[in-house]
Chain A
Amino acid sequence: MLEISDIRKTFHPGTPNEVRALQGVSLDLKAESFAIIIGTNGSGKSTLLNAVAGSFITDTGRIHLAGHDITRWPEHKRASLVGRVFQNPFMGTAPDMSIEENLALAARRGLPRGLGWALPRTLRRELRDRVSDLQMGLENRLDNAIGSLSGGQRQALTLLMASWLKPDLLLLDEHTAALDPKSADKVIQLTQEIVERDKLTTLIVTHSMTQAVNLGDRILMMHKGRLLHDIAGSERQRITAGDLLERFEEAGRREVDSEAKD
Chain B
Amino acid sequence: MTLLIGATTVGLILALLSLGVYLSFRVFSFPDITADGSFTLGAAVSAILIVQGHSPWIATMAGFFAGMLAGMVTGVLSSKFQINGLLSGILVMTALYSVNLHVMGKSNLPMANQATLASEAERLAGVLFGLQGDLHVIGWSVGLRDAAVLVGVFALIAVCGLTLYFFFRTNLGTAMRAAGNNPQMIRALGVNVDALLILGLALSNGLIALSGSLLAQYEGFADVQMGVGMVVWGLASVIIGEALVGSSRLGLLITGAVMGSLLFRLLVAIALRWGLDPNDLKIVTASFVFIALVAPSILRKLKPTPVEKIA
Residues of A within 8 A of B181 (CB): 94-97
Q: Contact check, A93 vs B191: say whether CB atoms are below 8 A apart.
A: no
Interface residues on B, range: 20 to 34
Residues of B within 8 A of A92 (CB): 185, 188
In the complex, A49→B111 CA distance in Å?
A: 62
Q: Contact check, A95 vs B182: say whether CB atoms are below 8 A apart.
A: yes
Q: Which residue of A lies closest to B172 (CB)?
A: A113
Contact with B along A233-245 (1 / 0, CB 8 A): 0000000000000
**Interface members, chain B 178-218 (any A CB < 8 Å):** 178, 181-182, 184-193
Residues of B within 8 A of A97 (CB): 174, 177-178, 181
Kindly specify which of A61-69, A104-112, A246-254 makes contact with the partner chain: A104-112
In the complex, A119→B4 CA distance in Å?
A: 41
In the complex, A207→B178 CA distance in Å?
A: 30
Q: Contact check, A114 vs B187: say whether CB atoms are below 8 A apart.
A: no
In the complex, A47→B192 CA distance in Å?
A: 22
Residues of A within 8 A of B169 (CB): 117-119
Q: Contact check, A94 vs B178: say whether CB atoms are below 8 A apart.
A: yes
Kindly specify which of A76-84, A130-138, A209-217 makes contact with the partner chain: A76-84
Q: How far is the CB of A39 from chain B (nearest CB, A)?
A: 23
Q: How far is the CB of B130 from chain A (nearest CB, A)?
A: 39
Q: Contact check, B190 vs A110: say whether CB atoms are below 8 A apart.
A: yes
User: Is there a chain A Cβ closer than 8 Å to B171's Cβ?
Assistant: yes
**Interface members, chain B 135-194 (any A CB < 8 Å):** 167, 169-175, 177-178, 181-182, 184-193
User: Is there a chain A Cβ closer than 8 Å to B248's Cβ?
Assistant: yes
Query: Interface centre among B171, B174, B177, by most A CB within 10 Å?
Result: B171
Q: Contact check, B188 vs A93: say whether CB atoms are below 8 A apart.
A: no
User: Is there a chain B Cβ closer than 8 Å to A91's Cβ?
Assistant: yes
Q: Contact check, B187 vs A101: say whether CB atoms are below 8 A apart.
A: no
The verdict on A114 contacting B185 (CB below 8 Å), with A77-B190, A94-B178, A97-B177 known, is no
User: Is there a chain B Cβ closer than 8 Å to A116's Cβ?
Assistant: yes
Q: Contact check, A53 vs B188: say whether CB atoms are below 8 A apart.
A: yes
Residues of A within 8 A of B174 (CB): 97, 101, 104-105, 113, 118
In the complex, A118→B166 CA distance in Å?
A: 10
User: Is there a chain B Cβ closer than 8 Å to A3's Cβ?
Assistant: no
Q: Contact check, B188 vs A75: say whether CB atoms are below 8 A apart.
A: yes
Q: Contact check, A105 vs B187: say whether CB atoms are below 8 A apart.
A: no
In the complex, A94→B179 CA distance in Å?
A: 9
Q: Contact check, B248 vs A96: say whether CB atoms are below 8 A apart.
A: yes
Residues of B within 8 A of A111 (CB): 190
User: Is there a chain B Cβ closer than 8 Å to A256's Cβ?
Assistant: no
Q: CB within 8 A of A105: which of B167, B184, B189, B192?
A: B189
**Interface members, chain A 143-181 (any B CB < 8 Å):** 145, 161-162
In the complex, A117→B172 CA distance in Å?
A: 9
Residues of A within 8 A of B170 (CB): 114-118
Interface residues on A, range: 35 or more
Q: Contact check, B188 vs A105: say whether CB atoms are below 8 A apart.
A: no
Residues of B within 8 A of A110 (CB): 189-190
Q: Contact check, B185 vs A113: say whether CB atoms are below 8 A apart.
A: no
Q: Which residue of B lies closest to A78 (CB)?
A: B190
The verdict on A93 contacting B185 (CB below 8 Å), with A76-B192, A105-B178 known, is yes
Query: Interface centre among B185, B189, B190, by most A CB within 10 Å?
Result: B189
Residues of B within 8 A of A74 (CB): 192
Residues of B within 8 A of A75 (CB): 187-188
Residues of B within 8 A of A106 (CB): 189
Q: Which residue of A lies closest to B26 (CB)?
A: A96
Residues of B within 8 A of A113 (CB): 171-172, 174-175, 191
In the complex, A155→B177 CA distance in Å?
A: 21
Q: Contact check, B190 vs A118: say whether CB atoms are below 8 A apart.
A: no
Q: Contact check, B178 vs A114: say whether CB atoms are below 8 A apart.
A: no
Residues of B within 8 A of A145 (CB): 248
Q: Contact check, B189 vs A79: say whether CB atoms are below 8 A apart.
A: yes
In the complex, A98→B108 CA distance in Å?
A: 48
In the complex, A92→B181 CA distance in Å?
A: 11
Q: Contact check, A93 vs B189: say whether CB atoms are below 8 A apart.
A: no
Q: Which residue of A lies closest to B169 (CB)?
A: A118
In the complex, A225→B273 CA distance in Å?
A: 71
Q: Contact check, B171 vs A115: say whether CB atoms are below 8 A apart.
A: yes
Q: How far is the CB of B178 from chain A (nearest CB, A)?
A: 4
Residues of A within 8 A of B182 (CB): 90-91, 93-95
Q: Contact check, B187 vs A76: say whether CB atoms are below 8 A apart.
A: yes
Q: Which residue of B lies closest to A91 (CB)?
A: B184
Q: How far is the CB of B129 from chain A (nearest CB, A)?
A: 35
In the complex, A75→B193 CA distance in Å?
A: 10
In the complex, A113→B182 CA distance in Å?
A: 17
The 7 nearest A-B residue pairs measured at CB: A79-B190, A110-B190, A94-B181, A118-B174, A113-B171, A94-B178, A94-B182
List residues of chain A with CB under 8 Å of any chain B CB. 53, 74-77, 79-80, 82, 84, 86, 90-97, 101-102, 104-106, 108-111, 113-119, 145, 161-162
List residues of chain B with CB under 8 Å of any chain A CB. 167, 169-175, 177-178, 181-182, 184-193, 248
22 A–B pairs (Cβ distance < 8 Å), ordered by A: A74-B192, A75-B188, A76-B191, A84-B188, A91-B184, A93-B185, A94-B185, A97-B174, A101-B174, A101-B178, A104-B174, A105-B175, A108-B171, A108-B189, A109-B189, A109-B190, A117-B170, A117-B171, A118-B171, A118-B174, A119-B169, A161-B189
